[in-house]
Amino acid sequence: MGEFELIARYFKRPTTRAAVGPGDDCAVLAPRAGMQLAVSCDMLVEGRHFLSTVDAQRLGHKALAVNLSDLAACGAEPLAFTLALALPRVDPAWLAGFSSGLHALAERHGCELVGGDTTAGPLNVCITVFGEVPVGAALLRSGARPGDAVWVSHAAGGGLGDARLALEVFRGLVALSGDAFERVRRIMEMPEPRVALGMALRGVASAAIDVSDGLLGDLSHLLRRSGVGCRLHTEHVPRSADLAAQPQALQRLCTLAGGDDYELVFTAPEAVREQVLAAARDVGVAVTAIGRVEVEPGLRLVDAHGVALDNDWQSFDHFRT
Ligand code: ADP
Ligand code: MG
């Protein structure tokens, strides 16, 4: 199977929202009047972002999910995406799985594959997403104000840190029952981007970011961009029953610096508390208040008894040695 047959078989799908889809030199997008394009790009590299043993269908899902999560953080509605793919070999079973996971998530979000590039090389998946947001309505990192509440999204009954818990099991550092492992592994491999929540928070949240590298690190980016600080209640950070059954140090590592959560952390004035809860209820996602924005820069952590904790959890950084 050659390059063009491969593209036609696995990646070419009819498009309706784009003016021109795959097959020409450029895709042509048609954002609606009064909308701005929100654009984001994320690359997944084998051995860095995923294990070589990961199921192809789940990888297809995750490659798009991490990009949709960036649109969610901006309150943008998915429109289209491009796919740059490097493959070590043409493996029809792998391509069928990968493309089915990718297209299934794309269809759920009305996000059309409009082009890409396909080449031989070490397995690498790079997606660029395009979303629409009403002019001036994009949620940014820079809008948090002193007095705002800090919220985090999560699945009902779930929380942050399950993806990291799964990684620790893969590393052999933690043991879980078979059922619990399958659950957290699924969360690590098939994150659910909070697109509907991001859109529902337009005009409600003052600032937002998605949690990809760990809560404290990503929240710190938001605080710095907003020129503020915050007090964060570490024990208010939601967690699943499986994680809550682990030693406290591991719970804190996973919830505060876990990474791969793809939840939204956002701020909102106290006056819109009910609107935040209503937005979350409308889209079927849970949200929990975990702290408060303060004038003084920095992140101050307090435990369940109000006792200050050192912030010695580092979030993920590819180039830190
Ligand atoms: P060009 O050489 O003009 O960059 P290519 O020959 O690389 O174009 O690709 C041919 C067409 O197939 C283009 O429209 C491109 O966007 C599309 N395409 C290539 N790879 C993919 C892919 N993985 N998924 C979707 N479309 C793709
Ligand atoms: Mg090309």
Encode pLDDT of 41-94 as tens digits: 999 999 888 988 899 999 999 999 999 999 999 999 999 999 999 999 999 999
What are the residue boundaries of the structural domains of the chain, listed by start?
3-134, 149-309
Centroid of ligand 2 to alpha carbon of 23 (angstroms): 11
Confidence of residue 14 (pLDDT cuts 50, 70, 90): very high
Residue whose CA is closest, atom 14 of ligand 1? Answer: 23
Calculate the average pLDDT of the chain.
95
Q: What is the pLDDT of residue 320?
A: 65
Sign, CA dihedral 186-11-84-93, equals: positive
Check residue 279 and give its pLDDT: 98
Gap between the Cα atoms of 312 and 321, Å rounded: 16
In this prediction, residues 109-126 reach a mean pLDDT of: 96
Q: How far is CA 48 from CA 28, 40, 44, 192, 321, in A?
A: 33, 20, 8, 20, 15
For residue 259, pLDDT beyond 70: yes
Closest CA to 175 of 250, 230, 91, 72: 250
Say what the pLDDT of residue 82 is: 98
Q: Which of 24, 112, 118, 128 to mutate to test the pocket of ligand 1 (most atoms within 8 A of CB)?
A: 118
The residue whose CA has the least distance to atom 8 of ligand 1 is: 25
Cα–Cα distances (Å) from 283 to 194, 195, 203, 223, 302, in that order, read 9, 9, 16, 26, 31
Task: Please tell me the residue having the least CA distance from ligand 1 atom 7.
Answer: 117
Ligand 2 centroid to Cα of residue 71, in Å, is 25
Quote the tokens at residue 146.
Answer: 């002193």
Domain 3-134 CATH class label: alpha beta
Q: What is the pLDDT of residue 314?
A: 67
Q: Give the C-alpha separation, 101 to 181, whole Å.
A: 21
Q: Is the CATH code 3.90.650.10 the one for domain 149-309? A: yes
